[in-house]
Amino acid sequence: MRHRHLGTATLALGLVVLTDVLRVFLPSVITIFGQAASTPAELLGAFALGWFVLALAAPALVVRVGARPVGLAAVLVLGATRLALTAAPGGRTQLWLASAGLLAGLVWLAATAAQVTHPVPGLAFGLTAGTLGHALLGTHDLVWWGRWESWLLSVALVALLLGAAVASARPADASPAVSEQPVAPPARSWLLAGPALLLGGMVALSPAVASTAMSFWYGAAGTALPPLFALAPLGGAVALFVFCTLTPPAGRWRPLPPVLLSAGALLFGYGPPTALSPAMLLGAAGLGGCLALTTVEQGPSTAARRGYAAVGGMLVFAVAAVLYYAAYDIGYPNGSLPAGVAVLVGLVALGGRLRPAAAGTVPSPAAAGSTTAGSTADGRPAWLAAALAALVAFGAAWVHGPWLVATNRDGPPEQVRLVAYNIRMGFGLDGRLDLAALDRAIGPADVVVLSEVDRGWLLNGGHDTLHLLATRLEMPYVFAPAAGALWGDAVLSRWPVRQVQTRALPAVGAPTGAQALGVTVDFSEGVRLAVVSTHLQPPPGTDPVVQARAVAEFATGYADGGPLVVAGDFNTEPGDPAFAALTGAGLLDAFAAVRPLPTSPADDPREQIDHIFVSPDLVATDPVAVPSTASDHLPVAVTLRLPPAAPQ
């Protein structure tokens, strides 16, 4: 029993560290290897998948050398690379460290599968611990902190993993009694590790998705509900996941978990943004139930088969993730992919036969693999574990909830500093999520218009970049999705905002969606400013004139004759048809006096594609493109002098 508990703890801790490395590897592939769309999507996918394919050799290595030495060597490399990533300066060093850590983690997983016959408790506790840890950190990974606390916590995590791995690798005690001997479930328990990591990180157990989901309900600035409820979907999701994992369904209830999981995945893929909350809850309950189903079924299980199942499941993770997110570069429907993985999980979970009880014995729940935590028939430990997980999630919400408060100063301002910035999901040219660098690039501002805002894409590490940056800037935000519910544009304002409106722009064959977001900044005493944020996304090699016309029509109608600013990444240069469509609608180029003003790429600006347009009644001064490599674009800024309030 002691070794079974150690194996469960090692698996859980290892999964947390492996997930940490994945949250660095995935965005590194995009931002460092791919330089964010400058490398063909097919090459990006091949590079990412190559490491998972290479790991298919791990089970044979485990059989030839032995699970314990291979597992110990792999977990040492995994821990070392995890610590090295905390010190990595970004760039190619970060990419290769993350790749080495990923490969080591996959080899460790294969070696662990050869030794641990009942992985579900470890997988469940690892997924839950990783989720709650990410929530407690506000979705800001320790790797990106750049402070001494990140070293302290990272060293503690790796030390716990290495200690548990060394202890569990020692020879086991004498064989336990027959009633305690586990009957090895089929390798499908391990096969679900990768898909569970994918569906959990994509929607069911994602703190960033939870905070985004609530923002669609409690308003633009995130202040209508107390902070305790900022992660309400996550609290319910982790509680359902833990409880359903520890209480396997029986009899006619066995098909229920796959149905719930598929329903959650369909809502995520095809539902409106407000459906994210029920998608999380359904997905978490179904995912936990599917894992639990594999603990009460019987089938052949060898060390090699379990190893191949573990690595094969991670390959499913990689293929599905690449296919899902490549759709935004290549262009094809991807809403069915999460549902397809959910159906696969359900089929695997239901694919075995019930284990017959041995004559004269009643296998304990721990022996059956449902949990090593001593679950009993009345389910009280399962309820307690679920309640504890939910409590931690709500505690994380209290720490990182929407404390942002719109500050309406006394009277209207004499001038307003407005910044427009394509933040590339928060990642700089070095491939690091550097909130401090973004803060410095934005500088003192009253209104900030952001493009390429990521609020939980697993591909980018599952961060709520908007909330992280808004918290640092102490500015409430309005978010409008453009590609799915988690990626789009935003407006941040130190002053209250009213009359939020959005309009989807014509796709004109572009794979990534585009939209226009209009907000009215209320300076009081009848002084208001209409701000429209957009990011034009034309097909490669074409001018976004159709989208520009749609933005001009929306913006002028939204402002209704009042002061207006239209800002963002327009992917068009002065003199192009799209640029002319905006100036032809009566808008003025705020940077006309300082042209040329290149803004991309950030390290060697050559293209003038980030702009601010203003209505004729606004006076724009101090136009500038701020030097910074915190993104692949430069932020652009102007100071606006507002017209006097209209007489009442």
Domains of the chain: 2-171+184-355+364-400 (1.20.1250), 416-641 (3.60.10.10)
* Partners of 169 in the β-ladder: none
pLDDT at 221 over 50: no
Per-chain mean pLDDT for the chain? 87
More reliable by pLDDT, 455 or 117: 455
List, for residues 317-352, the tens digit of each pLDDT value: 999 999 999 888 888 889 999 999 999 999 999 886
List, for residues 461-473, the tens digit of each pLDDT value: 999 999 899 989 9
C-beta of residue 468 within 8 angstroms of C-beta of residue 436: no
Confidence of residue 376 (pLDDT cuts 50, 70, 90): very low
pLDDT at 364 over 80: no
pLDDT at 633 over 90: yes
Mean pLDDT of 484-497: 92
List, for residues 517-531, the tens digit of each pLDDT value: 999 998 877 789 999
Confidence of residue 568 (pLDDT cuts 50, 70, 90): very high
The pLDDT score that the predictor gives to residue 174 is 43
**pTM summary value:** 0.91
Highest-confidence segment of 24-38, 377-391, 462-476: 462-476
* CA dist 342 → 30, 91, 195, 264 (Å): 25, 35, 8, 9
More reliable by pLDDT, 247 or 395: 247
Residue 373 CB-density burial (10 A; 0-12 exposed, 13-18 middle, 19+ buried):
middle
pLDDT at 446 over 70: yes
The pLDDT score that the predictor gives to residue 374 is 33
Which of 116-125, 584-593, 626-635 shows the lowest mean pLDDT across its residues? 116-125
The pLDDT score that the predictor gives to residue 638 is 98
Provide CB contacts within 8 A for 597, sequence distance 6+: 591, 608, 623, 625, 636
- Residue 27 C-alpha from the chain's centroid: 10
List, for residues 240-276, the tens digit of each pLDDT value: 999 999 888 888 899 999 999 999 999 999 999 999 9
Mean pLDDT of 295-316: 85
Residues 111 and 109: their CA atoms lie apart, in Å, by 5
Residue of 120, 113, 175 whose CA lies nearest to 368:
120
Confidence of residue 116 (pLDDT cuts 50, 70, 90): confident
Residue 4 CB-density burial (10 A; 0-12 exposed, 13-18 middle, 19+ buried):
buried
pLDDT at 228 over 80: no
Which of 160-169, 594-603, 625-634 shows the lowest mean pLDDT across its residues? 160-169
Tokens of 75: 């977990």
Which of 324-333, 366-375, 430-439 shows the lowest mean pLDDT across its residues? 366-375
Mean pLDDT of 446-459: 96
The pLDDT score that the predictor gives to residue 408 is 52
pLDDT at 422 over 90: yes
C-beta of residue 450 within 8 angstroms of C-beta of residue 466: yes
> What is the percentage of the chain residues whose pLDDT exceeds 90?
67
* CA dist 296 → 118, 135, 185, 343, 376 (Å): 10, 31, 7, 20, 15
Mean pLDDT of 289-317: 87
Confidence of residue 38 (pLDDT cuts 50, 70, 90): low
Confidence of residue 179 (pLDDT cuts 50, 70, 90): very low
Amino acid (one-letter) located at 253: W
Buried b (16+ CB within 10 A) or exposed e, 57-72: ebbebbbeeebbebbb
The pLDDT score that the predictor gives to residue 358 is 40
Confidence of residue 217 (pLDDT cuts 50, 70, 90): confident
pLDDT at 366 over 50: no
pLDDT at 378 over 70: no
The pLDDT score that the predictor gives to residue 329 is 83
Which of 298-302, 475-479, 578-582 shows the lowest mean pLDDT across its residues? 298-302
Tokens 């060394």, residue located: 166
β-strands 588-589, 528-535: how paired?
Answer: unpaired
Question: Phi and psi at residue 354, in whole multiples of 5°?
Answer: -65, 140
